[in-house]
Amino acid sequence: MPCTNSDGTLTEAAVTLMSVMVEHHSLEEVASITDIPLYLVRATARDLIDTRLATEQDGAYRITKLGSEKLAYTLAKLNAG
């Protein structure tokens, strides 16, 4: 599941997940907090890791510095538009 739109911003699902992943959480916790089905959380998390926007350590997921910058960029663009 792609986590970015054609304009370089994050998808709505990616923004939601990354907003929760500012702190370390398991995928099950992320699914519970966001009310997004676990299979979609897993698919999006895989893409976030593949694009270096998030990292996993001992079953806990967190956004990277690059992910934080991309999230800030997307939120700024959404607020401006």
pLDDT given at position 1 = 62
Do the domain assignments include residue 35? Answer: yes
- Determine the Cα–Cα distance for residues 20 and 15; give it in Å rounded to an integer: 9
Among residues 66, 21, 17, the alpha carbon closest in space to that of 41 is found at: 17
Local confidence pLDDT in tens for the 81 residues of the chain: 688 999 889 999 999 999 999 999 999 999 999 999 999 999 999 999 999 999 999 999 999 999 999 999 999 998 986
Domain range holding 35?
12-80
CATH of the domain at 43: 1.10.10.10
φ/ψ (deg, to 5) at 3: -105, 0
Do the domain assignments include residue 5? Answer: no
β-bridge partners, 25: 61
pLDDT given at position 2 = 81
Enter the pTM of the model.
0.89
The residue type of 66 is L
pLDDT given at position 8 = 87
